[in-house]
């Protein structure tokens, strides 16, 4: 069975991905790059910083998940048990 995958509308990335060719290829594919410019960029493009904040939220969530020793070492024997604990930790503030 083939599962259809929706094409992304935007890409949230950090300054390491700020390159003209990379931005062009994203735009050609119809993906909006939301990447802050590097400090040495001659013509800085200003991304939508409201959307860029979502990237920070995702990174903080992964940071919290890494603090959970049970997830990092994968103590759970079954996939269902591991995913259940992952969902539990992800919902915790």
What residues does each domain of the chain span? 7-47, 49-93
| pLDDT score, position 55 | 82
Q: Which helix (H) or strand (E) holds 33?
A: strand 32-34
User: If pLDDT is split at 50, 70 and 90, which confidence band does 30 have?
Assistant: very high
Structure tokens at 5: 């995958």
Taking the CA atoms of 69, 72, 78 and 84 in sequence, report the sign of the dihedral they define.
positive
Q: What are phi and psi of 32, to 5 degrees?
A: -80, 115
CA 73, CA 93: separation in Å to the nearest integer?
A: 22
Per residue in 4-15, pLDDT tens?
A: 778 889 888 888
Return the percentage of the chain with pLDDT > 70, whole number: 95
For 57-92, write each residue's pLDDT tens digit. Answer: 888 888 887 787 777 777 778 888 888 888 887 777
């Amino acid at each position: 069975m083939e599962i259809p995958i929706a094409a992304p509308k935007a890409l949230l990335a950090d300054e390491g991905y700020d390159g003209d060719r990379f931005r062009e290829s994203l735009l050609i594919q119809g993906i909006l790059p939301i990447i802050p410019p590097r400090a040495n960029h001659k013509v800085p493009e200003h991304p939508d910083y409201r959307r860029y904040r979502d990237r920070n939220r995702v990174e903080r969530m992964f940071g919290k998940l890494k603090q959970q020793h049970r997830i990092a070492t994968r103590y759970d024997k079954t996939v269902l048990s591991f995913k259940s604990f992952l969902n539990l930790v992800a919902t915790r503030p």
